[in-house]
Amino acid sequence: MQLALARTRTRVYGVDKNHSAIVPGADLLNTSPQKGLNTAWDFHRNPNRYSMTTKQSISAGQELYDSYCATCTNAGMLIPWGVYLEDNTNVMTALSAESCAKLRQPALVMLNTASLQPGWTAPRCFQEKLAEDQGPLRCSLARLAWEQCKGHFF
């Protein structure tokens, strides 16, 4: 049941306010930062059909990328998909100074602050930290802390 729920939560497309659908094949696409998205999808109500088109010419062998959730914050991307988008324009609510004070040191241990680029929501993690136990998860959580606390001390 947990596997079925995980597949449903990560592969369902919203048809409209009251309907969802799993589209065979569409779930094979990965996502990317906004600038790398090269497909767009739509449900047409009459007749009932799904269509996916490319935004530009695609070369043979080129990977197709789809937006998993155009309105999700990075916290919303992490929960079902485990993805942190560097250029996500959906802003998360800032945490309190008290909460951020507790997150500062664990976040800074993971984050390579020199890697921060203009337009990014948070810096990348140190490569050696990614290889540690739970490294990718700890990295994503550190990036969330940076994003939600940058107004306090980052």
152 and 87 share a domain?
A: yes
128 and 150 share a domain?
A: yes
Residues of the domain holding 12: 2-67
Q: What is the pLDDT of residue 107?
A: 96
**Number of folded domains that form the chain:** 2
Phi, psi (rounded to 5 degrees) for 52: -130, 130
Q: What is the pLDDT of residue 19?
A: 84
144 and 112 share a domain?
A: yes
138 and 112 share a domain?
A: yes
7 and 32 share a domain?
A: yes
pLDDT in tens, the chain (154 residues): 999 888 888 888 888 888 888 888 888 899 988 889 999 988 887 667 888 999 999 999 999 999 888 899 999 999 888 999 999 999 999 999 999 999 999 999 999 999 999 999 999 999 999 999 999 999 999 999 999 999 887 7
48 and 75 share a domain?
A: no
Q: What is residue 134's three-state secondary structure?
A: coil
86 and 40 share a domain?
A: no
Residue 92 identity: M
44 and 102 share a domain?
A: no
Among 67, 92, 108, which residue terminates a domain? 67
What Å distances lie between residue 47 and 12, 19, 37, 44, CA to CA?
A: 20, 15, 27, 6
81 and 37 share a domain?
A: no
14 and 90 share a domain?
A: no
Place of tokens 């140190």: 126
Among 40, 67, 94, which residue terminates a domain? 67
90 and 139 share a domain?
A: yes
